[in-house]
Chain A
C-alpha cells in the first residue's frame, strides 16, 4: 500500500469511528482495527512489548475520561451516571479505533512521509509545511526547556513544595513561550530571506517539503 493510501484509510477509519453511534458498530470497527494492528505487527516484525507500550500510552487519556465522566454530583454526593458511562465507553472505543488504525497504518512513517502523503492527497502546501515545522520545532522547544531548567539549577533553584516554586515554574513556562515566539519570528524572517514568499502559493512538491524537513537551525 502506498503512503497516501495508508493515510486515507486511517482517516476514513477515524471518520467512521466518529460517525458511528451504536456500541456494537464501534465494537465491530474496533475488532477490525485490532486485526489490522496484529497483521501490521506480524508483517513488520514489531515486538509485542512495543505494541503494548503504544496502546498503553494511547489509553492514558481514556483513563482520565473514566475517572471523570461516569460520575455526577447529586445533593448527597457522587453517583453513578448511566449516560456518562455510555459516553465514556464510546470515547474509549473511538479513541482506540483511531489510535490502533494509526499504529497499524502510519507507524514507521516519519513526519515527512505523513506530510508528503497528505500533500499528495490535496492538503494545502501551507498546512503540510506547518506540520513539518511543528515536528521540527517541538524538539527545539524541548531543548529550550532543558536550557532554561539548567540555567535555573545552575543558580541554585531546587523545586520544593512552596509558593516560590510555583512562581518559578510559571516563569519557566512563560520563558519557553517567549523563546518560542522570538524564534518563530527569526525563522519566518530566515524563510523569507530564502524566498519562501514566492512559493507559498505553489503546490507542495516533494522538493519543497524536503527543503523544510531538512532545514537546520537557520532554516
Chain B
C-alpha cells in the first residue's frame, strides 16, 4: 500500500503564543482514516495545515511522496487534496450551484463552457442536476453539503479531507452523504465526532489525546 500522507512530529501555531503538537500518522491508498478527539484539539487545524493554510512550526510532512513545508510546496496540493470545510457556507461562492461547482475547474485552467459541462456532469453523478440553476443561498443544509462535495469532486481529487462532514445533517441527509462519499472510492481523512459516521466510513481511527 503506498503512502499518500505522512506526518511526524508536527507542531502547528495556535495564536501568537501557543503551539499544538499532533501525533504522527500516515494515510495509505484505499484507507479512510478517522480523526477523533475533543473540540479544540486541532482536527480542523490539521486538515488546514495539509493545504498550507496553517503554518507548520516543526515536524515533517510528506504528501504524495514529496516534502511539504513552504507555501510553494502546498499550492499544487490545492485540488488533489479536496477539502470539505466544516461549514459549507464558507465554501459556496455561487451565484448559482453550477457556477459554484465550476469554480475549481476554472482555476485548473478550463474555459467557462468546459468547466460548466464538467460541473453539470459532477452534479449529475451525485444526482443533484435539478439544483444546477438554484442560487446557493436557497439550498437546505444537506443540499449545501452535497453541492460543496460536488465542488470538491469536480477538481478530480486524489484524497478527500472531510471536516465534520455530517455536522448538522438529519439522518436521511447523512445516509445520502455517506453513500456519495463511499461511491467516490477515494482515500479520506475525516475529522468527526459522529460515531455513526466513524462506523460507516472509517477503516482506521486516530485519536488525538486530550
Contacts and interface: CB of A to CB of B under 8 A. Distances in A.
A185 to B, nearest CB: 13
Nearest to B108: A156
Interface string A132-172: 00000000000000011011111111100000100000010
A143 to B, nearest CB: 10
B83 interface: yes
Q: Is the interface of A mostly helix, strand, loop or mixed?
A: helix
Interface string B63-92: 000000000000100110001010001110
Interface string B125-148: 000000000000000000000000
Given A147-B90, A171-B93, A175-B93, A155 B51 contact: no
A155 B48 contact: no
Given A171-B93, A175-B93, A154 B51 contact: yes
Interface string B176-210: 00000000000000000000000000000000000
B155 A153 contact: no
Nearest to A178: B137
Contacts, number: 46
Nearest to A175: B93
Contacts of B85: 147, 151, 154
A152 B93 contact: yes
Contacts of B106: 164
How extensive is the interface on chain A, given as a class?
10 to 19
Contact of A155 (B53, B75, B89, B155): B155
Contacts of A147: 85, 90
Contacts of A153: 51, 53, 78
B104 interface: yes
B121 to A, nearest CB: 17
Contacts of A158: 75, 107
B33 interface: no
Contacts of B104: 155-156
B165 interface: no
A179 B78 CA distance: 24
A120 B155 CA distance: 57
A155 B79 contact: yes
B80 to A, nearest CB: 9
B152 interface: yes
Which of B75, B83, B90, B152 has its CB near the most chain A CB atoms (within 10 A)?
B90
Interface string B85-115: 1000111010000000001101110000000
A149 B91 CA distance: 10
29 contacts: A147-B85, A150-B48, A150-B53, A150-B90, A151-B85, A151-B90, A151-B91, A151-B93, A152-B103, A153-B51, A153-B53, A153-B78, A154-B53, A154-B78, A155-B78, A155-B79, A155-B103, A155-B104, A155-B152, A156-B78, A156-B79, A156-B104, A156-B107, A156-B108, A156-B155, A158-B107, A171-B93, A175-B93, A179-B89
The 9 closest A-B pairs by CB, nearest first: A156-B107, A155-B104, A156-B79, A154-B83, A147-B90, A151-B91, A157-B107, A156-B78, A151-B90
